Amino acid sequence: MTENEVLKIFEENNALLNGHFLLTSGLHSPHYLQCALILQHPATAENLCAELAERIKNDERIGTIDLVIAPALGGIIVAHEVGRALKVRALFTERQDGLMRLRRGFQIKPEERVLVVEDVVTTGGSTREVMELVSQNGGVTVAVGSLIDRSGGTLDLGVPRHALAILTVPSYRPEECPLCRAGSTAVKPGSRMRSD
């Protein structure tokens, strides 16, 4: 699956829109990304995550993986489907009182080799929090995977990283927005934009 094929699947499902959007941050952007609109289709989710799992498996730097983990909510389905493809268990973390935690009796055994996944990686903030939680529990993060890398490929998390597609998503203050300047009006996408 090429990057263009992946982006085409996103566009066909309206998970990636091109136009002129008003983000919840107040900034304007020519793109709108909502992975839930892809992941609502189980077969598509399964295919994309199997592709991501394949790339992780074929990366000789990574080696064995004992479990997959993702931050709730956005990453849960990705962890589940990548875990299915790799035939390992899939955990998720939850934020409680502002801190990323392992709840529901989930456990990471000492020295377990962990793959951290997300739907979208942008700044890597929540990814880093999950990696920290893994190491606090004695595990070792051996790689990070996401469906989309919105950092333009620049983010360095200190471990091998894979994404099915790399996007650079520019955002502008309204007074500096070239789309506004060209005469169009920013519209609000259907639901909240991911903050990360």
**Which positions lie near Zn ion, rule CB under 5 A?**
28, 177, 179-180, 186
Residue with Cβ nearer Zn ion (28 or 80): 28
Smallest distance, Å, CB 162 to Zn ion? Answer: 33
**CB nearer Zn ion, residue 159 or residue 179:** 179
Q: What is the CB-side half-sphere exposure of residue 22 using CA atoms within 13 A?
A: 10
Q: Minimum distance between the CB of residue 97 and Zn ion, rounded to whole angstroms?
A: 37
Residue 97's Cβ-count burial label (10 Å; 0-12, 13-18, 19+) is: exposed
Angle 170-73-75 from CA coordinates, rounded to 5°: 70
Nearest distance from C-beta of residue 86 to Zn ion, angstroms: 42
Q: Rank residues 43 and 182 by Cβ distance to Zn ion and give the closer one.
A: 182
Residue 176: Cβ within 10 Å count: 10
Report the SS3 class of residue 119.
strand
H-state helical runs in the chain = 3-12, 36-39, 42-57, 76-86, 125-136, 178-181
CB of 167: closest distance to Zn ion in angstroms?
Answer: 19
Closer residue to Zn ion (CB): 23 or 48? 23
- The separation between the first and the last C-alpha atoms of the chain, rounded to the nearest angstrom, is 25
Please report how close the Cβ of residue 180 comes to Zn ion at its closest, in angstroms.
4
Residue placing its CB nearer to Zn ion in the complex, 28 or 162: 28
H helices of 58-176, where?
Answer: 76-86, 125-136
